[in-house]
């Protein structure tokens, strides 16, 4: 699949192409209609008009609803993509997928990789007007690292000590060299709050949290609508541009599309791929696809003898025509899967030797297995999701020529999770995501059978050579060497086929043309301090 | 009935697989963290002892706290019950406003074109799913004519009422077909009664006969039927709230079922069951006021 040019389009290049083409579109008619000098003047006017405008209220209809706003104790999308507007970490991930210094202005790492010193940005204040201090950082990160029930507290496991140093430094020491550390620090769960909750009780604090973010909580009904208002003490001068943001909970796909069409909402998330073409044609509405750290996987249960057989897994991988599957289901929005790492993630290797569709190769591979005449099996998916039903039906048809007869089981989402996490399945389809900008989270969760936390994404895949490489990459600080290690890992995994990476779906948003400056990072987070309404 | 609903909800919820800890802790959760949470929620006990505790809590009116939201179930329901009550109220109002003229026309033009049209439409209505009807209404009144909002709760009192018109209409269609057919039959029976013939013989106009004599007498069985069918209307709010993005009890019920938030699901089904019982009681009392025969007995 490395021959597919679209496959290798990185997130950064995609964004750059997108930005360049929209500039051309805007300038095109002006250039064609007027002499060069007038055109220059008009472009200058257009640029002046494009200067951010302050004020206004944004209405955002989302498929997710916040339940509570404690960053250390939630993994629910509605919580995560709300509290990150209020509380910020030391580093963040930009829309291009790169780490950017945020509440820290910079950091230094000791030669042995064990001591990390963060220099706090001067002049940062919390929304209550109090200045950000090293004590706040120490309190917040210690709280998250010590929170054994925290959904993402495992990301802080490497921290041994954390201490304030002087007026604006925080020093963290690690128990071992840990290359993904800066990515870990950038996760929303490591957001900074005032030390000792600013003198309040924990519960009272998170009912109306104080942070350094561009917005503050205005009103909130759990699992329903929420309103944010501008933080007057925000550290980026002149920002945010918006006075307020209404985040409305609209769970029904169709209703969200209707709200953007009618103008009741100015941004909607999770646009169904089937609606993309029609929305693009609608006047006053734009559709944007943002690459995601997300891969849809077909997972094999290697506790069963047929899937412990490497030839069987390879045969099934060969038999699934991924470009055709994506073309039939995503309406041109997703990219066919290849490596288990998505192209949006650092160290993704476009040259990974993927087992591309070939029915003859599939049959040859199955002939080498202990099941040359096929077998009967079951495919588990979460019910009520059209995409999974379509994927399952296509896989069912794709495996029929191998005489692998698939029946599809689709319980509701909660039952689905219980079933596959108990290894009560034969094959299942699910999406794997990365929460941070470093591929280690995905690599260890999906490949490190012993300590990754999920028995290799509940596949039971256990290749000691791969696990050793994953650990080596975790301790390697040289970027070129890390890239080589992840290249090796991706190649072995593509050959072993513990799961079939089916596709790379993007985040799909529709926005009113009045909305400017909206962007989503590959982790799914969107910052709103740059958004303004024309 | 309420006790039956409570027991059935408990058993159904615990019979289907699915784990609320997953929703709260995420997929990186360690088995120890999951076990600790299940213990805190009391979900590590036997089903029998959980049921005994549940019944005990119900009797003492302790509805507990939501697993997912961490706040008391009563406050969650309190935030949302108004929306659902308003929807049921407006849905009932529409049901009556649509039913009475349609049934009157059908009964007074028995076996002629208007009668067949009304009966045909009501059969069609019975077979039409609420979410689809809702989408058609949105397409016409909100997107094309731009008269009403496509969804959401609106702002201010008037905005709120406005936002409930299309959902109310959609909800009313869960029961209008049944009510029209029943009121039509009731009116036909009354039309054949001696006192109607007497009224006509006295020279009263047909409209007056229909409204003063026929409709008044036919309304009582319809009211009883409305009371019995209100359960369908209440049930339809689950779908209608979802289609129109209203954050009432129905949409909370749906999301709580999918996250296996047992206390919330149990409490909402209980609240809905109790309201159906209360509405039935209220319609019976109203029927008694309207019909002196019932009062005498």
Determine the Cα–Cα distance for residues B106 and B184; give it in Å rounded to an integer: 7
Distances (CA, A) of A233 to A105, A122, A214, A229, A519: 18, 13, 8, 12, 23
**Which of A67, A223, A419 is nearest residue B17 as measured by Cβ atoms?**
A419
pTM of the model: 0.86
Determine the Cα–Cα distance for residues A81 and A79; give it in Å rounded to an integer: 6
**Which of B68, B135, B152 is nearest residue A254 as measured by Cβ atoms?**
B135
Give the closest-approach CA distance of A269 to chain B in angstroms.
Answer: 14
Which is more confidently placed, B14 or A394? A394
Distances (CA, A) of A67 to A18, A70, A249, B240, B268: 35, 10, 11, 22, 17
B181 touches chain A (CB under 8 A): no
Structure token digits, residue B78: 């309190």
- Which residues of chain A are within 8 Å of residue B22 when distances are taken between CB atoms? 414, 417-418, 421
Give the closest-approach CA distance of A251 to chain B in angstroms.
Answer: 7
Determine the Cα–Cα distance for residues B221 and B287; give it in Å rounded to an integer: 8
Residues 6+ apart with CB under 8 A from A28: none
A254 touches chain B (CB under 8 A): yes
- Which residues of chain A are within 8 Å of residue B252 when distances are taken between CB atoms? 223
For position A180, what pLDDT does the model report?
95
User: What is the H or E stretch that residue A407 is in?
Assistant: strand A404-409
**Which of B28, B244, B259 is nearest residue A414 as measured by Cβ atoms?**
B259
Give the closest-approach CA distance of A85 to chain B in angstroms.
Answer: 20
Contact call for residues B259 and A79 (beta carbons, < 8 A): no
B184 touches chain A (CB under 8 A): no
B72 touches chain A (CB under 8 A): no
For position B197, what pLDDT does the model report?
84
Q: What is the pLDDT of residues B158-197, one digit of tens each?
A: 888 899 999 999 999 888 888 888 888 888 888 888 888 8
Note whether A264 contacts B79, CB cutoff 8 Å: no
Which of A79, A157, A250, A441 to substitute to test the interface with B, most B CBs within 10 Å? A250
Determine the Cα–Cα distance for residues A381 and A410; give it in Å rounded to an integer: 5
Which is more confidently placed, B165 or B11? B165
Contact call for residues B168 and B155 (beta carbons, < 8 A): no
Long-range (24+ apart) CB contacts under 8 A made by A46-55 are A49/A534, A50/A516, A50/A534, A52/A241, A52/A516, A52/A517, A52/A530, A52/A532, A53/A241, A53/A532, A53/A533, A53/A534, A54/A238, A54/A241, A54/A532, A55/A241, A55/A242, A55/A243, A55/A533
**Which of A74, A149, A414 is nearest residue B19 as measured by Cβ atoms?**
A414
Which is more confidently placed, B282 or B217? B282
Checking if the pLDDT of B137 tops 80, the result is yes
Question: Considering chain B, what percentage of its residues have pLDDT values greater than 70?
Answer: 99
For position A47, what pLDDT does the model report?
54
Cα A323 from chain centroid? 22
Instruction: Tell me which residues of chain B, numbers 233 to 272, contact chain A at a CB-CB cutoff of 8 Å.
Output: 242-245, 247, 251-252, 254-255, 258-260
Note whether A252 contacts B70, CB cutoff 8 Å: no
Across the range B52-56, mean pLDDT stands at: 84
With bands split at pLDDT 50, 70 and 90, how would you rate the model's confidence at B30?
A: confident
Note whether B71 contacts A221, CB cutoff 8 Å: no
For position A43, what pLDDT does the model report?
55
Note whether A264 contacts B26, CB cutoff 8 Å: no
Q: Return the closest-CA partner of residue A461 out of A415, A487, A423, A404.
A: A423
A283 touches chain B (CB under 8 A): no
- Which residues of chain A are within 8 Å of residue B37 when distances are taken between CB atoms? 149
Across the range B99-122, mean pLDDT stands at: 86
**Which of A223, A248, A414 is nearest residue B152 as measured by Cβ atoms?**
A248
Checking if the pLDDT of B136 tops 50, the result is yes
Contact call for residues A272 and A509 (beta carbons, < 8 A): no
Interface confidence: ipTM more than 0.85: no
Note whether B37 contacts A149, CB cutoff 8 Å: yes
Per-residue confidence in pLDDT tens, chain A, 534 aa:
333 333 333 333 333 333 333 333 333 333 333 344 455 555 555 555 568 999 999 999 999 889 899 999 888 888 999 999 999 999 999 999 999 999 999 999 999 999 999 999 999 999 999 999 999 999 999 999 998 878 888 889 899 999 999 999 999 999 999 999 999 999 999 999 999 999 999 999 999 999 999 999 999 988 788 999 999 999 999 999 999 999 999 988 999 999 999 999 999 999 999 999 999 999 999 999 999 999 999 999 999 999 999 999 999 999 999 999 999 999 999 999 999 999 999 999 999 999 999 999 999 999 999 999 999 999 999 998 889 999 999 999 999 999 999 999 999 888 999 899 999 999 999 999 998 999 999 999 999 998 888 899 999 999 999 999 999 999 999 999 999 999 999 999 999 999 999 999 999 999 999 999 999 999 999 999 999 999
For position A304, what pLDDT does the model report?
98
Q: Report DSSP letters for A31-45, one per residue.
A: HHHS-HHHHHHHHHH
Q: Which residue of B has its CA nearest to A261?
A: B143
Give the closest-approach CA distance of A21 to chain B in angstroms.
Answer: 31
Determine the Cα–Cα distance for residues A213 and A92; give it in Å rounded to an integer: 12
Note whether A222 contacts B247, CB cutoff 8 Å: no
Q: Which residue of B has its CA nearest to A149?
A: B33
Distances (CA, A) of B239 to A401, B76, B142, B248: 41, 19, 19, 11
For position A347, what pLDDT does the model report?
96
Strands of the sheet containing A499-504, edge to edge, are A335-336, A499-504, A294-300, A427-433, A375-380, A404-409
Q: How many Cα atoms occupy the beta-carbon half-sphere of A515 within 13 Å?
A: 25
Determine the Cα–Cα distance for residues A335 and A497; give it in Å rounded to an integer: 19
Instruction: Compute the residue count for chain A.
Output: 534
Structure token digits, residue A183: 């990515």
- Which residues of chain A are within 8 Å of residue B17 when distances are taken between CB atoms? 411, 414-415, 418-419
Cα A299 from chain centroid? 20
Determine the Cα–Cα distance for residues A152 and A158; give it in Å rounded to an integer: 13
Which of B15, B23, B27 to substitute to test the interface with A, most A CBs within 10 Å? B27
**A to B CB pairs, distance under 8 Å:** 127
Note whether B28 contacts A454, CB cutoff 8 Å: yes
Note whether B26 contacts A412, CB cutoff 8 Å: no
For position A326, what pLDDT does the model report?
96
Give the closest-approach CA distance of A433 to chain B in angstroms.
Answer: 11
Instruction: Tell me which residues of chain A, numbers 438 to 467, contact chain B at a CB-CB cutoff of 8 Å.
Output: 445, 453-454
């Amino acid at each position: 699949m490395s021959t597919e040019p679209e496959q290798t389009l990185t997130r950064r290049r995609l964004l750059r192409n997108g930005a360049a083409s929209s500039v051309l579109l805007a300038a095109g008619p002006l250039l064609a209609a007027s002499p060069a000098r007038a055109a220059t003047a008009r472009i200058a006017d257009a640029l002046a008009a494009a200067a951010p405008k302050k004020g206004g209220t944004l209405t955002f209809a989302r498929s997710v609803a916040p339940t509570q706003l404690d960053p250390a104790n939630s993994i629910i999308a509605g919580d995560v993509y709300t509290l990150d507007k209020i509380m910020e970490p030391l580093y963040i991930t930009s829309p291009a997928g790169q780490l950017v210094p945020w509440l820290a202005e910079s950091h230094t790492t000791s030669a042995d990789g064990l001591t990390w010193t963060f220099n706090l940005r001067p002049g940062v204040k919390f929304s209550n007007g109090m200045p950000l201090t090293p004590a706040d950082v120490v309190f917040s990160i210690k709280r998250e690292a010590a929170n054994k029930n925290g959904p993402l507290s495992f990301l802080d496991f490497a921290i041994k000590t954390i201490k304030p140093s002087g007026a604006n430094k925080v020093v963290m020491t690690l128990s071992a060299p840990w290359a993904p550390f800066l990515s870990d620090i950038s996760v929303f769960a490591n957001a900074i709050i005032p030390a000792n909750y600013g003198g309040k009780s924990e519960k009272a604090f998170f009912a109306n949290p104080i942070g350094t973010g561009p917005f503050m909580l205005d009103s909130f009904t759990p699992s329903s609508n929420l309103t944010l208002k501008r933080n007057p003490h925000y550290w980026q001068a002149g920002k945010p541009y918006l006075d307020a943001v209404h985040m409305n909970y609209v769970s029904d796909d169709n209703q969200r599309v209707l709200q953007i069409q009618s103008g009741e909402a100015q941004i909607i998330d999770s646009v169904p791929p089937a609606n993309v073409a029609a929305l693009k044609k609608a006047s006053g509405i734009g559709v944007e696809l943002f690459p995601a750290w997300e891969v849809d996987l077909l997972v094999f249960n290697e506790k069963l003898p047929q899937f412990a057989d490497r030839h069987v897994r390879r045969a099934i991988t060969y038999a699934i025509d991924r470009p055709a599957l994506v073309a039939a289901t995503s309406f041109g929005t997703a990219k066919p899967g290849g490596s288990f790492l998505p192209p949006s993630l650092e160290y993704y290797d476009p040259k990974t030797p993927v087992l591309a569709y070939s029915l003859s190769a599939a049959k040859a591979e199955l002939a080498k297995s202990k099941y040359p005449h096929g077998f009967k099996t079951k495919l588990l998916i979460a019910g009520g999701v059209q995409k999974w039903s379509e994927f399952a039906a296509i896989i069912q048809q794709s495996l029929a020529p191998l005489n692998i007869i698939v029946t599809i089981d689709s319980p509701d989402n909660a039952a689905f999770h219980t079933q596959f996490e108990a290894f009560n399945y034969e094959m299942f389809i699910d999406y794997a995501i990365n929460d941070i900008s470093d591929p280690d989270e995905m690599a260890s969760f999906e490949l490190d059978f012993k300590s990754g936390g999920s028995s290799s994404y509940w596949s039971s895949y256990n290749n000691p050579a791969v696990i050793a490489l994953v650990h080596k990459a975790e301790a390697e600080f040289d970027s070129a060497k890390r890239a080589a290690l992840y290249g090796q890992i991706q190649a072995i995994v593509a050959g072993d086929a513990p799961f079939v990476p089916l596709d790379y779906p993007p985040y799909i948003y529709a926005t009113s043309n009045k909305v400017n400056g909206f962007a989503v990072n590959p982790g799914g987070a969107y910052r709103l301090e740059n958004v303004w309404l024309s | 009935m309420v006790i039956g609903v409570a027991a059935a909800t408990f058993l159904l919820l615990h019979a289907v697989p699915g784990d609320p800890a997953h929703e709260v802790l995420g997929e990186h959760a360690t088995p120890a963290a999951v076990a600790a949470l299940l213990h805190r929620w009391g979900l590590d006990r036997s089903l029998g002892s959980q049921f005994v505790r549940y019944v005990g809590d119900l009797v003492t009116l302790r509805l507990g706290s939501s697993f997912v939201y961490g706040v008391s179930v009563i406050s969650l329901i309190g935030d949302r019950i108004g929306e659902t009550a308003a929807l049921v109220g407006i849905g009932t109002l529409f049901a009556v406003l649509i039913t009475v003229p349609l049934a009157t026309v059908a009964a007074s033009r028995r076996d002629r074109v208007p009668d067949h049209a009304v009966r045909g439409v009501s059969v069609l209505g019975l077979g039409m799913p609420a979410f689809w009807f809702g989408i058609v209404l949105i397409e016409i009144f909100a997107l094309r004519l731009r008269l009403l909002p496509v969804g959401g709760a609106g702002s201010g009192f008037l905005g709120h009422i406005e936002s409930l018109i299309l959902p109310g209409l959609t909800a009313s269609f869960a029961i209008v077909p049944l009510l029209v057919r029943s009121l039509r039959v009731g009116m036909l029976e009354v039309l054949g009664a001696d006192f109607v013939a007497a009224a006509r013989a006295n020279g009263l106009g047909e409209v007056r006969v229909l409204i003063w004599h026929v409709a008044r007498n036919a309304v009582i069985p319809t009211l009883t039927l409305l009371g019995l069918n209100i359960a369908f209307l209440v049930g339809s709010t689950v779908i209608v709230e979802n289609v129109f993005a209203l954050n009432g009890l129905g949409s909370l019920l749906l999301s709580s079922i999918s996250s296996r938030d047992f206390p919330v699901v149990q409490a909402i089904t209980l609240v809905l069951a109790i309201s159906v019982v209360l509405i039935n009681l209220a319609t019976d009392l109203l029927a008694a006021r309207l019909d002196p025969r019932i009062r005498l007995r």
